[in-house]
Structure 1
Amino acid sequence: MPEPDDRPEERPDDRPGGTGRDKLTRAALRPSRRQVVVAVVLALVGYGVVVQVRATDADSDYDTLRQQDLIDVLNGLAGTTQRTQSEIERLTRTREQLLDETSARGTALQEARDEVDTLTVLAGLVPVTGPGIRITVTEGGGSEVTLSSMLDLVQELRTVGAEAIQLNGEVRVVAQTSFEDVEGGLLVDGTLVEAPYVVDVIGGPDVLSGAVEFALGPRAQIEGDGASLEVTELGSLDVDAVVEQQEAEYAVPDADQ
């Protein structure tokens, strides 16, 4: 008589492969290549449908407008464009105006600086270098150059545009310089200057020489005093003597000028 089998009866769920739901779960967790491709295609199709729907909705917004409404929309856009263009042109004009004003201010400032430099040189406040002439006046035989002859010489040089005059390397001759005839020479701004007199002048050499040499001019006067005069044109010479600047005690600049 066969022995009874004590092993539990195998159920369908215990067989290899399991139930259908188990297979479905495993398929979802491990999709095949074909399933992946199908999913991607479906996603792209869905995205295209959404885009088309949105575009259709946007077009339908304008489709529902009357012709006059569309004209009003276009006119509004045109007006906005025109206002924007006008604002751009206004800002451009403002920019150009500011640039012009800045350039004008820069030019005026440079002109003011140049004028200050010129006045500083003419006032004898700074040493200068430039082309010019050297005049040497030598007394001899007991003769003396008169104060009048020296003043005429300086005045003629100023008249033709001498920019700097120096006497014997010691005294800067400017508009306010004083001359006095004293024993042994000339007292120039309180400094005794003795012969021979060496006058260094910065300016156009040809013009300066002409101011000395013309008929009945400085040369004729000095030689008439019994002295000799020699003129040497130089491409460059130094005028190192300066005038001490004095502060005005009473005069002040005019604020309106």
Structure 2
Amino acid sequence: MGATPRPRGPLARIRRRPESDPTPAQARRRLRAITSLRMAPGQVVAAVITALLGIALVAQVRAQDEAGLSQLRESELVALLDDVSGRVDALQREVVELEADRRQLQGQQGDVAAADAARQRLESYAILAGTVPVEGPGITVVVDDPDGVMTQTMLLDAVQELRDAGAEAIQVGNVRVVASSHVGVAGGAAAGTVTLDGAVLVPPFRILAVGEAHTLAGGLAIPGGFLDSLRGAGASAQVVEDEQVLVDAVRPAPDPRWAEPVPATPSS
């Protein structure tokens, strides 16, 4: 028997509708379902407002990025550049020192170098903990506040600005500033009773900081910072850069109550 002849002409263009194609009734039901999903007027307004807010936010961020450093004054740019340069120099010195330590530890005098490195680390930790007096280049800030206008926030700003500028040791009045130091107010929120670690700061008092002197002075001179706020409130402050600043206030070595060191385990 021969094969069934394939249709030609118009019949060849007639194709069977796939079973997946919807019937007219199904198409009408789907159309009604789609039209029923139209957003309510309130939803449309909310969507438009959200889109406009997004566009405005993006425009504001771009405008601030474009302004950038162009809005700063020359003195602010100099202070910022000095701060960045100081940080770069400090990091480069640290890299050189670490590479020298590694070479010594890998050499024939490894035990002696290891002991010397441990001693240096102990000295560094003692300085950070405030258990030993230190001296070096830095600044002295004499704060004269006869009306007691300085607040907790101002003193916190001063400490944070000095730390950000790379101060290795800070002393306020007769109190050594360490990681656990806290600023408070004696007898409530009255002005002129700012305390540091419980000690009342009686004007005039000095703030001593050891570090790169010019960078430290620039850190305090940022607009809206400690010096601006203090002078704006009616007090005065004088910053003196010096090649030798003595931070002689010390704190007792802490005696941990709860923490205990974990014994070292030999590496496998």
So what's the TM-score if we normalise by structure 2? Answer: 0.54
Offset at 1:175?
Answer: 1.1
Alignment-mate amino acid for residue 115 of structure 1: R
Once the two structures are superposed, the pairs formed by residues 73-92 of structure 1 within 5 Å of their partners are none
* Partners of 2:149 and 2:193 in 1: CA distance: 8
Contact 2:150/2:194 (CA < 8 Å) preserved in 1? no
State the partner residue of 2:112: 106
Distance 1:216 1:118, change over 3 A: same
Offset at 1:143?
Answer: 5.2
* Partners of 2:252 and 2:233 in 1: CA distance: 33
State the partner residue of 1:160: 165
Correspondence 1:145 to 2:150: yes
* Partners of 1:240 and 1:150 in 2: CA distance: 20
* Partners of 1:167 and 1:118 in 2: CA distance: 20
State the partner residue of 1:241: 249
* Partners of 2:148 and 2:252 in 1: CA distance: 34
Correspondence 1:201 to 2:203: no
Alignment-mate amino acid for residue 175 of structure 1: A
Greater mean alpha carbon deviation, residues 128-137 or residues 102-111: 102-111
* Partners of 1:123 and 1:224 in 2: CA distance: 34
State the partner residue of 1:49: none
* Partners of 2:106 and 2:186 in 1: CA distance: 60
Distance 1:102 1:191, change over 3 A: same
* Partners of 1:226 and 1:182 in 2: CA distance: 21
Once the two structures are superposed, the pairs formed by residues 58-69 of structure 1 within 5 Å of their partners are none
Alignment-mate amino acid for residue 156 of structure 2: L
State the partner residue of 2:97: none
Contact 2:148/2:193 (CA < 8 Å) preserved in 1? no
For 1:171, which of 169, 175, 178 is the aligned residue?
A: 175
State the partner residue of 1:221: 229
Contact 1:147/1:179 (CA < 8 Å) preserved in 2? yes
Alignment-mate amino acid for residue 227 of structure 2: R
Alignment-mate amino acid for residue 163 of structure 1: E
User: Unpaired runs of 5+ in structure 1?
Assistant: 1-98
Which secondary structure does the structure 1 equivalent of 2:184 belong to?
strand
* Partners of 1:159 and 1:180 in 2: CA distance: 21
* 1:222-257: CA deviation from partner (whole Å, max 9, x where unpaired): 222221121001111211110111211121122238
The CA RMSD over aligned residues, in Å, is: 2.0
For 2:141, which of 129, 135, 144 is the aligned residue?
A: 135
* Partners of 2:194 and 2:176 in 1: CA distance: 14
* Partners of 1:156 and 1:210 in 2: CA distance: 9
So what's the TM-score if we normalise by structure 1? Answer: 0.56
Contact 1:143/1:226 (CA < 8 Å) preserved in 2? no
Greater mean alpha carbon deviation, residues 118-127 or residues 183-192: 183-192
Alignment-mate amino acid for residue 144 of structure 2: T
Distance 1:106 1:220, change over 3 A: same
Which secondary structure does the structure 1 equivalent of 2:109 belong to?
helix
Alignment-mate amino acid for residue 137 of structure 2: P
Alignment-mate amino acid for residue 220 of structure 1: D
* Partners of 2:252 and 2:237 in 1: CA distance: 30
* Partners of 1:160 and 1:220 in 2: CA distance: 17
* Partners of 2:106 and 2:193 in 1: CA distance: 58
State the partner residue of 2:124: 118
* Partners of 1:143 and 1:172 in 2: CA distance: 22
User: Unpaired runs of 5+ in structure 2?
Assistant: 1-104
Contact 2:193/2:201 (CA < 8 Å) preserved in 1? yes
Contact 1:164/1:173 (CA < 8 Å) preserved in 2? yes
* 1:101-158: CA deviation from partner (whole Å, max 9, x where unpaired): 6522222222221111011011100011111100112124x35111101111101101
